[in-house]
Amino acid sequence: MKIDVVIPAIDKDLGTLPHAIDSVRKHVAHPIGRIYVVAPGSEAIKALCKRKGCTFVHERTVLPLSKKQIVYRSKRWERSGWLYQQLLKLASSSFVGQRHYLVLDADTVLIRSHRFFANGKYVFYCRGWSQPEYFVTYRKLLGKKAIRPRSFVTHYMMFDKTRLSALKRTIEARHGTRWYKAIIGSINRAKQYGFSEYETYGNYMYSVSPGKVSLRSAQNKSLHSSPSKLTPAKRQNLARRFRSLSFHKRRVYVRSVSK
């Protein structure tokens, strides 16, 4: 199965983005069409795309709304950009060339081989915990409880444009508005983690085609260093226990109480 790849990014991801791109080419066991980097009009990201042979997509061309139009924050935290990136991932079906596209978070690096379709089934990498509010929003969006076999929130996922379109149509028919507006309107703004694109699509796929879904443990490791600081020996040692590494900088989501 030939797939495209979509990586949403902003300038703060420049330390991990080149490693994420390289890891896709090394560890994704599918023919890759194009790698798209969806970002604001950043000259640094455009230059990186040119060096890495990726296609730059300005985020304003993907959705008919900007990050400034999304207000999802409190006195202590800011999640507007976080939510905007999730909507960009779902909206990327509008420009990718292949029917199937892999979305990878820009702070995540694959360190072992990954296959996203095998033995006639879609492969989803899963973990054992999630945020309860994700499933509250899921029920609001789709009118039924998520099956929740495991959590689908693992920093990357392959989407089937045909099935994703069916999910969007289902949401729009229920809410009488565009799918992204329904998502924004269904989130409890008092909750810091109100929606997950991965949890929503994964549970939808499992609910409509459980026989076409294969679940594997993600075995993701969060680190607070930089991928450039990993020696080959350290990376090899980590690959014995984990499939991917995520270099999180959670402090960017926190706002000062005084602001």
145 φ/ψ angles, rounded to the nearest 5 degrees: -75, 140
Q: Residue 128's pLDDT is what? A: 92
Q: In what helix (H) or strand (E) does residue 85 lie, and over which residues does it extend?
A: helix 80-91
- Alpha carbon distance 238, 223 (integer Å): 11
- Alpha carbon distance 109, 27 (integer Å): 10
pTM of the predicted model as reported, rounded to 2 decimal places: 0.93
- Alpha carbon distance 75, 73 (integer Å): 7
Q: Residue 35's pLDDT is what? A: 98
Q: Which residue has the higher pLDDT, 125 or 253?
A: 125
Question: Is 221 in a helix, a strand, or coil?
Answer: strand
Banded model confidence at residue 257, pLDDT cuts 50, 70, 90 = very low
DSSP string, 15-81: TTHHHHHHHHHHHB-S-EEEEEEEESS-HHHHHHHHHHT-EEEEGGGTSSS-GGG---B-SSBB-HH
- Alpha carbon distance 253, 79 (integer Å): 6
DSSP one-letter code for 195:
-
Q: Helix 161-175 and helix 179-186: axis angle, to 10°?
A: 60
pLDDT digits (tens, 9 = 90+) for 125-134: 999 999 999 9
Sign of CA dihedral 115, 109, 244, 27: positive
Q: Residue 248's pLDDT is what? A: 77
- The pLDDT of 116-138, averaged and rounded, is 96
pLDDT digits (tens, 9 = 90+) for 33-44: 999 999 999 999
Residue 173's Cβ-side half-sphere holds a number of Cα atoms within 13 Å equal to 8
109 φ/ψ angles, rounded to the nearest 5 degrees: -125, 125
pLDDT digits (tens, 9 = 90+) for 166-196: 999 999 999 999 999 999 999 999 999 999 9
- Mean pLDDT, the chain, rounded, equals 93
- Continuous H helices in 92-222: 132-142, 161-175, 179-186, 197-208
